[in-house]
Amino acid sequence: MDDDLREMRLSLLTEIERRKQAEEALEIWQKEWKKLSHHLSHVALSLPSPSIAEDTDDSSIDPGAELCQQITVSQLVAAVISQDFARAEVESEMETVIAAKNFEIARLSDRVQYYEAANREMSQRNQEAIDWF
Residues sharing a CB contact under 8 Å with residue 51, sequence separation 6 or more, in sequence order: 30
Q: Do residues 43 and 13 lie in contact, with contact meaning Cβ atoms separated by under 8 Å?
A: no
For 58-92, the pLDDT digits (tens) are: 556 677 788 888 888 888 998 999 999 999 999 99
For 99-117, the pLDDT digits (tens) are: 999 999 999 999 999 999 9
State pTM to two decimals.
Answer: 0.48
SS3 62: coil
Q: How far is CA 10 from CA 2, 36, 64, in A?
A: 12, 39, 40
